[in-house]
Amino acid sequence: MAAVRWRVAIFLGVFAASQLVDIHIGHAQTTTTNATTDPSEARALNRMFERWEISATDSWNISGEVCSGVATNATNVETNNINPSIKCDCSYDNNSTCHIILLRVYDLNVAGPLPDELWNFTYLSNLILDKNYLTGPIPAAIGNLSRMQYLSIGHNALSGPLPRELGLLTDLRFLAFGTNSFSGPLPSELGSLTRYIDSSGVSGPIPASFANLRNLERVWASDNGFTGPIPDFIGSWSSLTLLKFQGNSFVGPIPASFSNLSLLNDL
């Protein structure tokens, strides 16, 4: 089969930017001061940053303790653009152990494959690695980060198929992997999980499990390599107000079920 490259942006429009921020900061605020970072996570972070030739800003990793300063207080590291940054939850072991729950390395020219150390951060709920030069596949080990809620890895050079193990991330609420070089089908497992998808580079028919995405409000899927018939189940995406499908390779008629999309005002 010829390699098909295309882009699809499926926005499940229930999220406003402010709601995304709420997900980002989650339950990061603990004020305990004497807690220390899980030693294997601290080691993994130091090793990974060394490999990437980056280091903490002076507002965290104070005195060599990675979970300190903005990593543990009420500062929102995203709206304040602390970069790179982490957030820690220090409520473990009677407020004595911190686990890293957010990792943000945004537009810092880090290059190469996703490092193995990443899979040691099993408490991560937010991973933001957009706009770097990351290459290679997303390994199956992503499935070990089972607390993940917000995964954003757009604008890199990642490739290969999206692993089915993404389906193990049962708390996933946001997934953005657009502007990479992924190939192959959208894993059907994603259809039941995410409320927001922004993707690119995958091809083939839209998986049947996407019928479950009934809260979709807006779908941008123009200029992609979608194939097969336009799925009938789109008629059950009853919240849909906008649907852009131009420039695909769909075959066959527009399904009759579309007459049920009473809110649709832009096709």
For residues 183 and 202, give the distance between their C-alpha atoms in angstroms, rounded to a whole number.
Answer: 5
| Interaction mask 212-241, ligand NAG, x per CB under 6 A | -----------------------x------
Which strands sit side by side in the sheet containing 111-113, from one edge to the other? 111-113, 133-136, 157-160, 181-182
For residues 12 and 256, give the distance between their C-alpha atoms in angstroms, rounded to a whole number.
Answer: 23
Residue 34 within binding range of ligand NAG, rule CB under 6 A: yes
Sequential DSSP letters for 125-193: SEEE--SSEEEE---GGGGG-TT--EEE--SSEEEEPPPGGGGG-TT--EEE--SSEE-SPPPGGGGGT
The nearer residue to ligand NAG, 174 or 237, going by C-beta atoms, is 237
Does residue 188 contact residue 208 with C-beta atoms inside 8 Å? yes
Residue 82 within binding range of ligand NAG, rule CB under 6 A: no
CB of 107 to ligand NAG, least distance (A): 18
Q: Which two tokens stand for residue 5?
A: 């490259």
Task: Please identify which residue in 91, 159, 215, 239 interacts with ligand NAG, judged by CB under 6 A.
Answer: 91
CB of 252 to ligand NAG, least distance (A): 15
Task: Please identify which residue in 1, 16, 251, 256 interacts with ligand NAG, judged by CB under 6 A.
Answer: 256
Q: Which two tokens stand for residue 138?
A: 């997303």
Residue 36 within binding range of ligand NAG, rule CB under 6 A: no
Q: Specify burial of residue 17 (Cβ count, 10 A radius: 0-12, 13-18, 19+).
A: exposed
CB of 83 to ligand NAG, least distance (A): 13
Residue 141 within binding range of ligand NAG, rule CB under 6 A: yes
Q: What are phi and psi of 174, to 5 degrees?
A: -145, 130
Residue 83 within binding range of ligand NAG, rule CB under 6 A: no
The nearer residue to ligand NAG, 52 or 245, going by C-beta atoms, is 52
Residues that bind ligand NAG (CB under 6 A): 31-32, 34, 40, 43-47, 49, 55-56, 59, 61, 64, 66, 69-70, 73-75, 91, 94-95, 117, 119-120, 141, 144, 235, 256-257, 259-260
